[in-house]
Amino acid sequence: MTASTAVQPLLREPKRLETRLKEIPTEAGVYLMRESNGDILYIGKSKKLRSRVRSYFRDSQRLSDRIAMMVRQVTEIEFIVTDTEAEALALEANLIKQHQPYYNVLLKDDKKYPYVCITWSEDYPRIFITRKRKSGKAQDRYYGPYVDTRLLRYTLHIINRIFPLRQRRQPLFKDRPCLNYDLGRCPGVCQALISPEEYRKIMQKVAMIFQGRTDELVSKLQSQMEKASAELNFEQAAKLRDQIKALFALNADQKVSLPDDTVSRDAIALAANEEHCCIQLFQIRAGKLVGRLGFFAEAKSATPGAILQRVLEEHYTTVEPVEIPTEIIVQHELPEGEILTEWLSQTKGRKVSLIVPQRQTKAELIEMVERNANYELERTQRYRNYNDRALQDLATILDLPDLPKRIEGYDISHIQGSNAVASQVVFIDGVAAKQHYRHYKIKNPTVTVGHSDDFASMAEVIRRRFRPYLTSPPTSLLLEEERIEKENDFPDLVMIDGGKGQLSAVVEVLQEMNLLEEVRVVSLAKKREEIFLPGESEPLTTEAEQPGVQLLRRVRDEAHRFAVSFHRQQRLKQGRRSRLEEIPGLGFNRQKQLLAHFHSIDYIREASVKHLTEVPGIGNSLAREIYNYFHPN
């Protein structure tokens, strides 16, 4: 690998560019394009490095706008030579995963489709649905993303019914299992009634379902059932029989008509409009559709064949070799299909075929996948169009200069002043962005049990929310990343749940902070869905079913839901603590230590005197007082 430092982009220095291109060998390998500060812009592979890299700088080469912008920033090109094209693909995948260059991000991760995660990093792995594919722990496995969320949840429901799995992240009781153990739904993970090795064997069977190996799992269970029956262990044989029956029912209606039902195959196709591209991958095992995965990309980011190639590369680098099918049917010719085929064959340990069908059954299968991708693209486009209409209508209603990209909604929740809290929800482009939600505990000393003040509470929350913009140093002194983060975090519109009173309290705070000109704020009253603007005594003239008003209502309802949910949590914690307050000699700090040690009142109630003395600050006499309180007889 070679490298040097340059400030000017290579396109501005033709002589240096030509010299650099001549230094690149014609062998297979990986190339890395860097910008002036040394960051990697793009990582690619090729069986002939010099030809591929040179193609980026030819005047006649038609590049997408995105790649053309990248080329104008390249100040240095590095390369790593490999022995084979398959090694180049594997190395490229590892380097992209490690460095995550901006221009290699082809697929859009909008959390539209969910994944299934199995936490193999834990002694007793959990399984759950998530819309975030994190890579914090390398041992954890993610399957998906799945298009059919309803079918995915049904599959997990069946799995939890037929396999004894861990049901809770945290145990309910400290020294005994919960009811799930007695019902046979959990093998007693919380009390280590099953060893991690035995539990992992159960989870490996579950993983086989998401790997598309259901038939293999059924055969394995049938062998175990016959063995249990021969050993006269009829109870175990009956459990295995029920598991097999449920697995047969799982994919009973997913049959796909193909000439050879014994071959495992994936079929991939895409549908695109001017802006977006929807890709779907059908996983077919033994003639059954076991999974339908979905991806999104920018339509202009690459050619259809290159998009399909990148999807396949990213997908198969995250799966185990046993999950790779022996046949992959693709809609378009891939630009580097030979490299992909060789790498997949080496990874799987047997020949993998890449087919672009022209007629008959396999071509009909690709048409079906494309048809589904087109339906999903149209559905997504309709949803985006509706959001665009709502944003445009809202901008018209409020006379905004631009569409409100980031909308924040605020609400207060309490019961007669007790456990007063507030919520902040965020909608970006008309869609709830839950990763940006926040909640607040009201600190105002005048808000107490029996005395509520929604106006003061809302004023406090707004002051705390916008305080960083008041006390932050000048923009020139901020790091660029901090400046961009602050700009992205600043709302285009703030929606207050309430009427003129709440709005006036917020306006007063923003005036004190000299932010009223920068923060556009409105309120939405519940009864008549009336929109109030600062300084206006009468609400705006709107219709309840206008798209813009409906969008504000969605923000308001979500803020209310989030506030009520947090309030209930706080009330529950307060209820737990209030019971402890009745115990003589148990102060606030020791209450906190007890709850931190046992996690719940139920644990404390079930604890013995000896277990209670294990908590710091709890002596024998106080432990006896606590025990007697929960066991008066």
Torsion, Cα of 24, 27, 31, 36 (10° steps): -10
Name the pLDDT band for 137 (thresholds 50, 70, 90): confident
**Least confidently predicted of 22-26, 226-230, 325-329, 547-551:** 226-230
Q: Give the helix/strand (H/E) hosting 157.
A: helix 149-162
pLDDT score recorded for residue 476: 47
Q: Please, are residues 366 and 267 in contact by the beta-carbon 8 Å criterion? A: yes
Which amino acid appears at position 1 of this protein? M
pLDDT score recorded for residue 585: 79
What domains, with CATH codes, occur in the chain? 10-104 (3.40.1440.10), 265-379 (3.30.420), 406-570 (3.30.420.340), 582-630 (1.10.150.20)
pLDDT score recorded for residue 496: 94
Write the pLDDT tens digit of every residue in 469-510: 875 544 444 444 455 455 568 899 999 998 888 999 999 999
Q: Please, are residues 523 and 497 in contact by the beta-carbon 8 Å criterion? A: yes
Decide which of 509 and 263 is more confident: 509
Q: Please, are residues 196 and 149 in contact by the beta-carbon 8 Å criterion? A: no
Decide which of 107 and 628 is more confident: 628
Name the pLDDT band for 243 (thresholds 50, 70, 90): confident
Does residue 228 have a pLDDT over 70? yes
Rounded to the nearest integer, the mean pLDDT of the chain is 85
**Least confidently predicted of 385-394, 572-581, 613-622:** 572-581
**Least confidently predicted of 290-304, 324-338, 435-449, 569-583:** 569-583
**Collapsing DSSP states into helix, strand and coil, what is residue 109?**
coil
> For residues 276 and 221, what is the distance between their CA atoms, to the nearest angstrom?
44
Nearest partner of 294 among 312, 314, 315, 279, judged by Cα: 279
Name the pLDDT band for 5 (thresholds 50, 70, 90): very low
pTM above 0.85, yes or no: no
Which alpha helices (DSSP H) does 432-587 contain, by range? Answer: 454-471, 480-489, 500-512, 547-581
pLDDT score recorded for residue 257: 59
Q: Average pLDDT, stretch 40-63?
A: 85
Which amino acid appears at position 438 of this protein? R
Backbone angles phi, psi at 359, to 5 degrees: -160, 175
> For residues 388 and 302, what is the distance between their CA atoms, to the nearest angstrom?
26
Q: Which contacts of 573-580 are long-range, i.e. CB under 8 A and separated by 24 or more positions?
A: 574/418, 574/419, 576/600, 576/601, 580/604
DSSP 473: P
User: Burial of 521 by CB count in 10 Å (0-12 exposed, 13-18 middle, 19+ buried)?
Assistant: buried
pLDDT score recorded for residue 4: 44
Name the pLDDT band for 465 (thresholds 50, 70, 90): very high
> For residues 10 and 567, what is the distance between their CA atoms, to the nearest angstrom?
59
